[in-house]
Amino acid sequence: MKKILYLSALFLILSVNTGAQNKYIITVDTKGSGDYKTISEAVKSLPMFNYQRKIIKILNGVYNEKFKIEQDNITLLGESKDSTIIRFNQLRESWKNNKDVIGPAVINLNGDDIIIKNLTVENTQPEIGPHAFVIYGTGTRTIILNCNLISKGADTVSLWDYKTGMYYHADCYFEGAVDFVCPRGWCFIKNSKFYEVKKTAALWHAGGFSKEQKFVIKNSYFDGVKDFDLGRHHYEAQFYLLNCTFSENMSNKKIFRVTYEDTTRNQAFNWGERYYFYNCRRIGGDYDWIKNNLSSAEGQPSVDDITPAWTFNYKWDPESKEGPKLIKYEAAGEKLILLFDENITVIDDPILVNDFNEEFNYSSGGGSDTIIFYSVSEINKNDLKGLEISKGRLLGTTAGIYEREAVLGID
């Protein structure tokens, strides 16, 4: 009888999972050794409504293409920062005059929870100054790690979800002209280098949708042509620069608000100047306006308070190592239902094992917060003692810099 139950359960599991277990990692290689030769093809192969994280691993090579990602939960993972190169020549003005469905940038992001890591992305248009996006995005929870992002034009990295946009970047090199790193919403950058190719402002921020929106940069270095400006804004904005170093080429012009003689063009400015510095220095001599004034910020945060989680008002912590937590479970016949506090990415048909070495096989739920397993017989509370994953993986889907394993924690 137990064998019959086992075969019945196994048949049910297989029927539920047939065709549902897509690859967690898709490989792209210009030489043809991967699943696809272009990144565009790899992105198009993914479902439009992508509920589980998918990794597009891009092997070393030069990819002369531009593309868009409309799906959520995608990771672009280069083989190496300097040898995995995406290039395309695209002026924003040219795109506006002859629009395609891809977008105005080399990489166009419309999805949430996107991670870009270990890549060089370059807009190869040759002019200094005009708008030439490397990355343009309208999603939230965008992570960029260990990347070179290069343009001779303006707005190199333009992540523009002005309502809910949250962006985290680390260990990157940014190069461009006017406002070449210009987030709308919340942004945190650390351990990065910035190079301004034109005698104009490097940074720009728009934080007018909420007084809490802010742009934080820590432990970073700024350089550029002689007399480049540090930053400016048109909308309400809030800048924090902590433990940063500026080359002697930076001008003696503090971050400033752009205004026009035609006052109807001027944006609201109800919250005043909010430009905060801590332990910053300029090679060749400091300017008065980069002296410590962090204590004047609202709430008087200390430098240790200013973490990514703090920056994003504790709505998102991309540096968290904590996996999804089990908040509820239920046994119903041969079915075990697990409810987590986050949507789960399921890898390799997981199997759970209890203290008695009995197995629970994955059935369904990947991409949601409710994951279902089946046993070969009816489950009672005692069967759940010591339950742990013996095969496969259950990972948090929300973008983060670490892979975060789910925590079962059933007593």
pLDDT of residue 34: 95
Residue 16 buriedness (CB in 10 A; 0-12 / 13-18 / 19+): middle
Q: Is the pLDDT of residue 372 over 60?
A: yes
Strand partners, 76: 56, 116
**Averaged confidence pLDDT in the chain:** 94
**In the block, which residue shows the tokens 């995995």?**
84
**In the block, which residue shows the tokens 């990415």?**
345
Measured CA to CA, the distance from residue 239 to residue 245 in angstroms comes to 15
CA geometry: angle at 90 spanning 85 and 91, to 5°?
A: 140
Residues 217-245 have a mean pLDDT of 98
CA geometry: angle at 333 spanning 331 and 335, to 5°?
A: 60
pLDDT of residue 410: 82
Residue 319 in contact with residue 400, Cβ under 8 Å? Answer: yes
Q: Within 13 A of 258's CA, how many CA atoms are on the CB side?
A: 15
Strand partners, 215: 187, 239
Residue 387 in contact with residue 357, Cβ under 8 Å? Answer: no
pLDDT of residue 356: 92
Q: State how beta strands 239-242 and 215-218 pair.
A: parallel
Residue 7 in contact with residue 14, Cβ under 8 Å? Answer: no
pLDDT of residue 22: 66
Structure-derived torsion over alpha carbons of residues 286, 194, 235, 274, reported in degrees to the nearest 10: -30
Question: Which of 221, 177, 220 minimizes the C-alpha distance to 199?
Answer: 177
Measured CA to CA, the distance from residue 351 to residue 349 in angstroms comes to 7
Q: Is the pLDDT of residue 17 over 90?
A: no
DSSP 283: T
Measured CA to CA, the distance from residue 143 to residue 165 in angstroms comes to 11
Q: Is the pLDDT of residue 370 over 60?
A: yes
Query: What SS3 state is found at 408?
Result: coil
Q: State how beta strands 201-204 and 229-233 pair.
A: parallel
- Three-state secondary structure string covering 304-368: CCCCHHHHCCCCCCCCCCCCCEEEEEEEECCEEEEEECCCEEEEEEEEEECCCCCEEEEEECCCC
Q: Is the pLDDT of residue 8 over 70?
A: no
**Percent of the residues in the chain that have a pLDDT greater than 70, as a whole number:** 95
Q: Is the pLDDT of residue 7 over 70?
A: no
Measured CA to CA, the distance from residue 277 to residue 289 in angstroms comes to 8
CA geometry: angle at 119 spanning 123 and 63, to 5°?
A: 60
Residue 184 in contact with residue 165, Cβ under 8 Å? Answer: yes
Question: Which of 253, 257, 261 minimizes the C-alpha distance to 233?
Answer: 257
pLDDT of residue 322: 97
Domains of the chain in start order, with CATH, are: 162-319 (2.160.20.10), 326-396 (no CATH)
Give the CA distances from residue 233 to residues 120, 239, 244, 275, 291, in Å, rounded to whole numbers and listed in that order: 27, 10, 20, 11, 20
pLDDT of residue 409: 85
Residue 288's pLDDT band (cuts 50, 70, 90): very high
Measured CA to CA, the distance from residue 184 to residue 162 in angstroms comes to 5
In the sheet that holds 344-353, the strands lie side by side as 326-332, 335-340, 370-374, 359-364, 344-353, 388-396
pLDDT of residue 137: 97
Predicted confidence (pLDDT) per residue in 91-143, tens digit: 999 999 999 999 999 999 999 999 999 999 999 999 999 999 999 999 999 99
Name 351's Cβ contacts closer than 8 Å, sequence gap at least 6. 359, 360, 361, 362, 389, 390, 391, 392
Residues 28-52 have a mean pLDDT of 96
pTM confidence score:
0.93
Q: Is the pLDDT of residue 6 over 60?
A: no
Predicted confidence (pLDDT) per residue in 197-216, tens digit: 999 999 999 999 999 999 99
pLDDT of residue 11: 42
